[in-house]
């Protein structure tokens, strides 16, 4: 799986960008912007299996809101979508690929929090999600995370190195109720085959799996956390953070942000068009 994940690199194909590509922009020498623009290649870690946010299509092209956010940043650097090199960044490996400089940034449903900020910096947030549960359509027992305590035989699936995988622990009757995989598509498969009775992660990720489930899955209960999505970059790269924030602000003003949403996650039923959240100071 790891070997496959590492091998899974490639360009964005013939996809189009929401934002107009800047014509030969100039940047201060030595900045990440100058370095990336001069190599003509932006390396971005995304999810490969999350419909609506980051998904590698069978054709090899990449789709999703995170992919579109990457294109908006690339456009400001004067780079076309096909000049982005996407690679898979599963939840537990995001800090690692940034620290090892395998990518210039990670746009992968990546919640900003203090633990992660000890290792990487974040631009954004560009979206705020919330943790929720997904269950089988005919399930009327697991109606909220609290129902996991009263149904101790029920198993819930999440992903290693994710915030929902940690948060759910306090709702369990026993630790054996939690099943952890490296990616969410494996949790969706386990729900389909009845090995687990619930999947937990961010509402918008779950909505993508519900939409792809042929009516087999549904969301249960309300969202019970706030997950502000940031763009992970090398720790302390304040100029790059500010550049990305400027691109987000411009995209929100021009309508490119809304277009990016509407053509991806926004197609999923129930996912409302967001406004760009207030950006956090770069550090």
User: Which residues contact ligand GLU by CB under 6 A?
Assistant: 91, 108-111, 159, 162-164, 201-202, 205, 227
- Closer to ligand GLU by CB, 83 or 111: give it: 111
Q: What is the CA radius of gyration of the chain?
A: 19
Tell the smallest beta-carbon distance from residue 184 to ligand GLU (Å).
Answer: 7
Tell the smallest beta-carbon distance from residue 160 to ligand GLU (Å).
Answer: 9
Quote the CA–CA distance of 123 and 244 in Å, as a whole number.
Answer: 6
- Closer to ligand GLU by CB, 167 or 254: give it: 167
Those residues with Cβ within 8 angstroms of residue 201's Cβ, 6 or more apart along the chain or in another chain: 131, 132, 158, 159, 162, 164, 184, 187
- Closer to ligand GLU by CB, 189 or 246: give it: 189
**Angstrom distances, CA of residue 40 to CA of 35, 78, 85, 86, 251:** 9, 8, 10, 14, 22
Tell the smallest beta-carbon distance from residue 249 to ligand GLU (Å).
Answer: 22
Quote the CA–CA distance of 227 and 132 in Å, as a whole number.
Answer: 11
Tell the smallest beta-carbon distance from residue 61 to ligand GLU (Å).
Answer: 21
- Cβ neighbours, 10 Å, residue 190: 17
Tell the smallest beta-carbon distance from residue 98 to ligand GLU (Å).
Answer: 13
Q: DSSP class of residue 153? A: T
Residue 35, SS3 per DSSP: helix
Those residues with Cβ within 8 angstroms of residue 230's Cβ, 6 or more apart along the chain or in another chain: 110, 111, 112, 122, 123, 124, 125, 126, 280
- Closer to ligand GLU by CB, 109 or 121: give it: 109
- Closer to ligand GLU by CB, 152 or 166: give it: 166
Tell the smallest beta-carbon distance from residue 110 to ligand GLU (Å).
Answer: 5
- Closer to ligand GLU by CB, 167 or 242: give it: 167
Cβ-closest residue to ligand GLU?
162
Tell the smallest beta-carbon distance from residue 203 to ligand GLU (Å).
Answer: 10
Those residues with Cβ within 8 angstroms of residue 3's Cβ, 6 or more apart along the chain or in another chain: none
| Helix, strand, coil percentages for the chain (3-state, nearest 5) | 35, 20, 40
- Closer to ligand GLU by CB, 41 or 117: give it: 117
Tell the smallest beta-carbon distance from residue 144 to ligand GLU (Å).
Answer: 19
Q: Is the peptide bond before 125 cis (omega within 30 degrees of 0)?
A: yes
- Closer to ligand GLU by CB, 94 or 155: give it: 94
Tokens of 22: 């800047």
Those residues with Cβ within 8 angstroms of residue 32's Cβ, 6 or more apart along the chain or in another chain: 104, 233, 234, 237, 239, 240, 243
Place of tokens 């602000």: 249
């Amino acid at each position: 799986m790891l070997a496959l994940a590492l091998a899974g690199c490639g360009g964005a194909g013939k996809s189009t960008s929401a934002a107009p590509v800047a014509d030969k922009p100039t940047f201060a020498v030595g900045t990440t912007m100058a370095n990336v623009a001069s190599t003509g290649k932006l390396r971005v870690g995304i999810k490969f299996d999350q419909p609506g946010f980051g998904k590698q299509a069978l054709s090899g092209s990449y789709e999703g809101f995170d992919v579109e956010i990457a294109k908006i940043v690339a456009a400001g650097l004067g780079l076309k979508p096909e000049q982005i090199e996407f690679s898979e960044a599963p939840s537990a490996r995001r800090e690692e690929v940034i620290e090892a400089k395998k990518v210039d940034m990670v746009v992968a449903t990546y919640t900003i929090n203090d633990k992660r900020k000890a290792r990487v910096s974040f631009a954004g947030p560009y979206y705020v999600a919330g943790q929720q549960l997904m269950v089988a359509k005919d399930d009327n027992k697991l109606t909220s995370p609290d129902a996991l305590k009263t149904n101790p035989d029920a198993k819930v699936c999440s992903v290693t190195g994710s915030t929902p995988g940690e948060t759910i622990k306090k709702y369990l009757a026993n630790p054996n109720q939690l099943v952890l995989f490296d990616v969410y598509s494996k949790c969706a498969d386990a729900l389909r085959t009845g090995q687990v009775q619930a999947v937990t992660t961010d509402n918008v990720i779950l909505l993508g799996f519900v939409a792809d489930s042929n009516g087999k899955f549904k969301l249960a209960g309300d969202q019970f956390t706030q997950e502000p999505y940031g763009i992970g970059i090398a720790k302390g790269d304040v100029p790059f953070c500010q550049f990305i924030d400027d691109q987000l602000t411009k995209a929100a003003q021009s309508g490119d942000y809304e277009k990016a949403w509407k053509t991806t996650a926004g197609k999923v039923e129930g996912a409302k068009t967001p406004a760009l959240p207030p950006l956090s100071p770069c550090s």
